Structures are given as structure tokens and as C-alpha cells.
Amino acid sequence: MLILYVSVLHSLIFATSILFNGLLTPKSNLFFSTLLPMYL
């Protein structure tokens, strides 16, 4: 149960960091969009 909570929290933090990086720099948004399928 704790592992599930940690993994959900981690994915939320990861998605939030992708959104902030995408707003700050579009190039890093392209990088994360290619990195995201490998993470999932």
C-alpha cells in the first residue's frame, strides 16, 4: 500500500516538473516528452 502511494506521488511530482519545464523552456519539454514513455 505504501509503495503504491509513493509511486503515485512520484509520478505526480514528475508530471508537475514536466509541466514547469515545458513552460520555462520548450526544448526541455521536447526532451521530457521523449523521456516520458521510457519512464512509464
Q: Which residues of 16-36 are buried (b: 16+ CB within 10 A; e: fewer)?
A: eebeeebeeeeebeeebeeee
- 19 or 7, which is more confident: 7
Residue type at 22 in one-letter notation: G
Mean pLDDT computed over 17-38: 68
Give me the domain span that covers residue 22: 1-38
How many folded domains does the chain comprise? 1
Give me 13's grid cell.
511530482
Give me 24's grid cell.
520555462
Give me 20's grid cell.
514547469
Q: Enter the pTM of the model.
A: 0.45
pLDDT band of residue 12 (cuts 50, 70, 90) is confident
Helix spans in 1-40 (H): 2-24, 26-39
